[in-house]
Amino acid sequence: MSDIFFDTPVTKTTVVEYDRFKIKSIHVELNSSAQIVVLVFQTGSECAIYTAIDMPPEDYAIWGTDDNYIINFVKTNLASSL
């Protein structure tokens, strides 16, 4: 029997929820930018993935010495890197 094709392709979407993260490392290019490596955990599981978030020069310039700036930067930019 030959293949029968759909009139339009069928798309399957899987939803994965993440509820926490750990910052594993920050690679800094002095006076320029940073890359933040993050371990992200699925909700209710110890399953995790690594991802990297690039901090462009304009954000790096206002980082200063406040570690909370990094945490908030990751929270704001994490979804686009997954």
Predicted TM-score (pTM) of the model is 0.76
Q: How high is the pLDDT of residue 81? A: 80
For residue 71, being part of any structural domain is answered with yes
More confident site: 30 or 81: 30
For residue 12, being part of any structural domain is answered with no
For residue 11, being part of any structural domain is answered with no
pLDDT in tens, 43-72: 888 888 899 999 999 999 999 889 999 999
For residue 77, being part of any structural domain is answered with yes
Q: How high is the pLDDT of residue 16? A: 85
* Residue 38: domain span: 18-81
Distance CA 53, CA 42 (A): 18
Our count of domains for the chain comes to: 1
Q: Quick check: 77 and 71 in contact, CB under 8 A?
A: no
